[in-house]
Structure 1
């Protein structure tokens, strides 16, 4: 899902900008999101391979995930097909429904 969000943000940059900005933002926006995603982590999060560089609370991590997946959804909605964006939104919801134990774990941190 993270890769879909990154791809969607890059696609948005490609379809909504022209010239040098198009090429720069196609690289910069997904790279920025990828860095933020990997830097901020909850220590000991079993769903991640490492603790990240900056330790954050579980609530902060959930908000970060909300913004990344939300940005991916919105970017996909405005740059591609609405059916793909709604499918991605459904997958996000299903992911969090299936991950209720992780959400509980994060909220306790």
Structure 2
């Protein structure tokens, strides 16, 4: 489920990257923006995080990682909303709230590490 939500966030950011800039820039933005977000997502991680195989490139404190995750997930919902897909953006945000409530144990783990 988490992987599907990660992909949904990146696709949503890609959609926003396509509809926001003017025609010549959109071809660069639709690739560059989601790749940059995915790179940040993959590089900054909390060591021993079971949801990420435990490895990391740049060791990041858990609370900071949680903020990054919330920014990417809810940034995707916001991007979808801003791109004109308001219903899907709100739906994605609702699913994300439920997901984070159901994975509260991981949220607490991040806050403690």
How many residues end up aligned between the 2 structures? 109
Which residue of 1 is the match for residue 70 of structure 2?
66
2:60 alignment partner in structure 1: 56
Structure 2: state its 5+ residue gaps: none
- Name segments (4+ residues, structure 1) moved above 6 Å: none
C-alpha distance after superposition, 1:75-101 (max 9, x if no partner): 100114211111100111011101111
Matched residues in 2 for 1:19 and 1:70: separation? 26
Which structure 2 residues correspond to residues 19-58 of structure 1 after superposition, within 5 A?
19-58=23-62
Give the secondary structure class of the aligned counterpart of 2:51: coil
Listed as ranges, the gaps of 5+ residues in structure 1 are: none
Residue in structure 2 matching 1:83, options 87, 95, 104: 87
TM-score by length of structure 1 reads: 0.94
